Amino acid sequence: MDFKLKIWRQKNAREKGGFRTYPINDVSPEMSFLEMLDYLNKQIIESGGEPVTFEHDCREGICGSCGLFINGRPHGPMRRTTTCELHMREFTDGDTIVIEPWRSKAFPIIKDLVVDRSSFERIMHAGGFISVDTGSAPESNSLPVSKNNSDKAFDAAACIGCGACVAACKNSSAMLFAAAKIAQYALVTQGKAEAKERVDKMVRQMDAEGFGYCSNTYGCEFDCPKGISIDFIALMNREFFSSKVCRQIPGRYTRKV
Amino acid sequence: MKKKATTLPSLSQKYIMAVAGIFLMLFLIFHLATNLLMLAGDGGKQFGNVVNFLTENPAVKIMEYILFAGFLLHIILGVILQVHNYRARPVRYHSRLQTETSQFSRYMIHTGVIILVFLVIHLMNFFFIRLGWVAVPDHAESRHDFFSMAVVLFQNPWYSLVYIVSFVFLGFHLKHAFQSAFQSLGLNHTKYTPAIKVIGTIYALAISIGFSLIPLYFLFIF
Q: Please state at what angle helix B146-154 crosses helix B157-184, rounded to 10 degrees.
A: 110
As for how many domains chain B has, the answer is 1
Alpha carbons B150 and B152: distance in angstroms, whole number: 6
Please indicate whether, in this complex, the C-beta atoms of B2 and A122 are within 8 angstroms of each other. yes
| Closest chain A residue to B98, measured at CA | A72
Q: Is residue B4 part of a domain?
A: no
pLDDT of residue B166: 97
pLDDT, one tens digit per residue, over B149-176 is 999 999 999 999 999 999 999 999 999 9
Q: Is residue B99 part of a domain?
A: no
Q: A128-142, A149-163, B29-43, B94-108: which range is least confident on average?
A: A128-142
Q: Where in chain A is the domain with CATH 1.10.1060.10?
A: 118-245
The per-residue b/e assignment along A43-79, b for 16 or more CB within 10 angstroms, e otherwise, is eeeeeeeeebbbbbeebebebbbbbbbbbbbbbbebe
pLDDT of residue B2: 47
At residue A138, what are phi and psi to the nearest 5 degrees?
-75, 160
pLDDT beyond 80 at A254: no
pLDDT beyond 80 at B6: no
Which one has a higher pLDDT value, A140 or B44?
Answer: B44
pLDDT of residue B43: 85
Q: A12-21, A168-177, A192-201, B127-136: which range is least confident on average?
A: B127-136
pLDDT of residue A248: 66
Picking from A175, A219, A244, the nearest residue to B99 by CB comes out as A219
Mutate to test the interface with B, among A124, A214, A216 (most CBs of B within 10 A): A216
Picking from B2, B10, B180, the nearest residue to A213 by CB comes out as B10
**Given the DSSP bridges, would you call strands A109-111 and A18-24 parallel, antiparallel or unpaired?**
unpaired
pLDDT of residue A250: 67
Q: Taking residues A182-189, what's their average pLDDT? A: 94
Return the SS3 of A19: strand
pLDDT of residue B135: 84
CATH of the domain at B216: 1.20.1300.10
pLDDT, one tens digit per residue, over A10-29 is 999 999 999 999 999 999 99
Q: Is residue B100 part of a domain?
A: no
pLDDT of residue B1: 44
Fold of the CATH domain A3-111: Ubiquitin-like (UB roll) (3.10.20)
Q: A78-92, A130-144, A181-195, B151-165: which range is least confident on average?
A: A130-144
Beta-carbon-side half-sphere exposure of residue B12 (alpha carbons within 13 Å): 11
pLDDT, one tens digit per residue, over B111-150 is 999 999 999 999 999 888 888 888 888 888 888 888 999 9
Chain B residues with at least one Cβ partner in A under 8 Å: 1-5, 7, 9-15, 81, 84-85, 87-102, 105-106, 108, 176, 179-180, 183-188, 190
pLDDT of residue B219: 93
Using an 8 Å CB-CB cutoff, list chain B residues near A73: 97-99
pLDDT, one tens digit per residue, over A226-240 is 999 999 999 999 999
pLDDT beyond 50 at B198: yes
Picking from A103, A216, A241, the nearest residue to B92 by CB comes out as A103
Task: Report chain B's mean pLDDT, rounded to a whole number.
Answer: 92
Q: Where in chain A is the domain with CATH 3.10.20.30?
A: 3-111
The answer to whether residue A13 neighbours chain B at the CB level (below 8 Å) is: no
Return the SS3 of A95: coil
Please indicate whether, in this complex, the C-beta atoms of A237 and B11 are within 8 angstroms of each other. yes
Confidence of residue A252 (pLDDT cuts 50, 70, 90): low
Please indicate whether, in this complex, the C-beta atoms of B85 and A8 are within 8 angstroms of each other. no
pLDDT of residue B5: 46
Q: Is residue B97 part of a domain?
A: no
Q: Which of A184, A195, A122, A186 is nearest to A158 (CA)?
A: A184
The residue segments making up the domain with residue B176 are: 11-88+106-220
Q: Is residue B95 part of a domain?
A: no
pTM: 0.92
Using an 8 Å CB-CB cutoff, list chain A residues near B13: 213
The answer to whether residue A22 neighbours chain B at the CB level (below 8 Å) is: no
Picking from B97, B98, B105, the nearest residue to A215 by CB comes out as B105
Alpha carbons A129 and A210: distance in angstroms, whole number: 22
pLDDT of residue B127: 84
Please indicate whether, in this complex, the C-beta atoms of B94 and A204 are within 8 angstroms of each other. no
CATH code for the structural domain at A118-245? 1.10.1060.10
The answer to whether residue A174 neighbours chain B at the CB level (below 8 Å) is: no
Please indicate whether, in this complex, the C-beta atoms of A234 and B92 are within 8 angstroms of each other. no
